[in-house]
C-alpha cells in the first residue's frame, strides 16, 4: 500500500464503537501540522460561514468544504453542490494530505479503496453544537464516512437508528479519527455544546474534517 498507509498503520489503539464503526485514537497526530497548513490555504479560497437551515436558523457551527462536492444548506434544503454559493466558484481542490489520510484511515478500519469526493470542514467555537441527525444526503450510503478531530476536545453523541434511541457519549480529542460505515452509517449522531478551553495549536476552537463519497 501507500507510504502514508505504512507510516500511519503502526500500532495506534483502535476501539470498536459499534458494528462497522471504529475509533482510531491519535491516528492523525503526525499529519496534523500538514492538515492545518493545507486548511489555512483553502480557507483563504472558501471562507468559513454560518449556513442557514431550511427552518431559517443560522448554524452555530461554521462550515466550508473542499473537493468536487460540498455540503450546503439554505432555506431550500440540504444538498451537495459542486459550486460554493458564497464565492460562485468550485470548492477548493481536496489537498493530497487530506485525501491520503482519509483513505489510509478507512483501509485501517476495514474499508479499502475509500476515495472521497467531499470534505466538509466544521469549525466549533465555544458554545457551538450540532444537534442529533443522520447523514443521508449522499447518493450511495454503502461508502463509509471518515472524520478527523482537531483542536479542543468535544463530546460526540452516538445514537441509534431512531432519534429516540439511547445516546452514547464519546470524547473526541485532537488527532482522533473515526470511521463510520456498514450498519452504523445511518445512526443518529451529534456534537454537544463545545466547552471553552485553550488548545495549544488551535486556541479556542475545534475543527472537524468529514470525508464522504457524495456523488
Ligand atoms: C456517525 N459532524 O458534519 S463527524 C457532520 O464532529 C457531523 O463535526 C460531526 O456529524 C463533527 O455531519 C461528527 C462524525 C460522524 C459523521 C458521520 C456519521 C459520525 C457519524 C454518520 C453515521 C454515524
Ligand atoms: Fe453528521
Asked whether 71 and 120 are in contact (CB, 8 A), the reply is yes
| DSSP per-residue string spanning 153-169 | -EEEEE--SSTTS--EE
For the whole model, what pTM was predicted?
0.95
CA of 147 to the centre of ligand 2 (A): 9
Report whether 133 belongs to an annotated binding site.
Answer: yes
Mutate to test the pocket of ligand 1, among 171, 180, 194 (most ligand atoms within 8 A of CB): 180
Report whether 174 belongs to an annotated binding site.
Answer: no
CA of 191 to the centre of ligand 1 (A): 8
Task: Report pLDDT digits (tens) over 29-59.
Answer: 999 999 999 999 999 999 999 999 999 999 9
At 43, list the grid cell: 480557507
Gyration radius of the chain over CA positions: 16
User: 11-15, 83-87, 117-121, 189-193: which has the minimum mean pLDDT?
Assistant: 11-15
Q: What is the dihedral of CA 53, 59, 63, 68, to 10 degrees?
A: -10
Q: Report pLDDT for 5.
A: 80
As a whole-number percent, the residues of the chain with pLDDT over 90 amount to 93
Domain ranges of the chain: 2-212
What's the mean per-residue pLDDT of the chain?
A: 96
Whether 12 shows a pLDDT value over 70: the answer reads no
Give me the sheet containing 62-66, strands edge to edge. 14-18, 21-24, 177-180, 145-151, 206-212, 118-124, 62-66
Q: Average pLDDT in the 175-184 region? A: 97
* Correct CATH for 2-212 of 1.10.3720.10, 2.60.120.590, 1.20.1250.20, 3.90.1640.30: 2.60.120.590
| Ligand number with the minimum distance to the CA of 150 | 1
pLDDT band at 10 (very low <50, low <70, confident <90, very high): low
Q: Which residue has the cell 458564497?
A: 86
Q: Report pLDDT for 2.
A: 66
Report whether 189 belongs to an annotated binding site.
Answer: yes
* Closest Cα to atom 15 of ligand 1: 147
Task: Report pLDDT digits (tens) over 123-161.
Answer: 999 999 999 999 999 999 999 999 999 999 999 999 999
Q: Is the CB of 130 under 6 A from ligand 1?
A: yes
Ligand 1 atom index nearest CA of 122: 8
Amino acid at each position: 500500500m501507500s507510504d502514508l498507509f505504512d507510516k500511519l498503520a503502526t500500532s495506534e489503539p483502535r476501539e470498536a464503537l459499534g458494528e462497522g464503526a471504529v475509533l482510531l485514537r491519535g491516528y492523525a497526530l503526525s499529519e496534523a501540522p500538514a492538515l492545518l497548513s493545507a486548511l489555512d490555504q483553502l480557507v483563504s479560497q472558501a471562507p468559513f460561514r454560518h449556513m442557514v437551515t431550511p427552518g431559517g436558523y443560522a448554524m452555530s457551527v461554521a462550515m466550508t468544504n473542499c473537493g468536487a462536492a460540498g455540503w450546503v444548506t439554505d432555506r431550500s434544503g440540504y444538498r451537495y453542490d459542486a459550486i460554493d454559493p458564497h464565492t460562485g466558484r468550485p470548492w477548493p481542490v481536496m489537498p493530497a494530505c487530506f485525501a491520503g489520510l482519509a483513505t489510509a484511515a478507512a483501509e485501517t478500519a476495514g474499508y479499502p479503496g475509500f476515495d472521497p469526493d467531499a470534505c466538509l470542514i466544521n469549525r466549533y467555537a465555544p458554545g457551538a453544537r450540532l444537534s442529533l441527525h443522520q447523514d443521508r444526503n449522499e447518493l450511495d450510503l454503502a461508502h463509509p464516512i471518515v472524520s478527523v478531530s482537531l483542536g479542543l476536545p468535544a463530546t460526540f453523541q452516538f445514537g441509534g437508528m431512531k432519534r429516540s434511541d439511547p445516546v452514547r457519549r464519546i470524547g473526541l480529542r485532537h488527532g482522533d479519527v473515526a470511521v463510520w460505515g456498514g450498519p452504523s452509517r445511518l445512526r443518529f449522531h451529534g456534537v454537544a455544546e463545545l466547552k471553552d478551553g485553550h488548545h495549544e495549536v488551535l486556541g479556542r476552537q475545534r475543527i472537524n474534517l468529514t470525508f464522504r463519497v457524495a456523488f
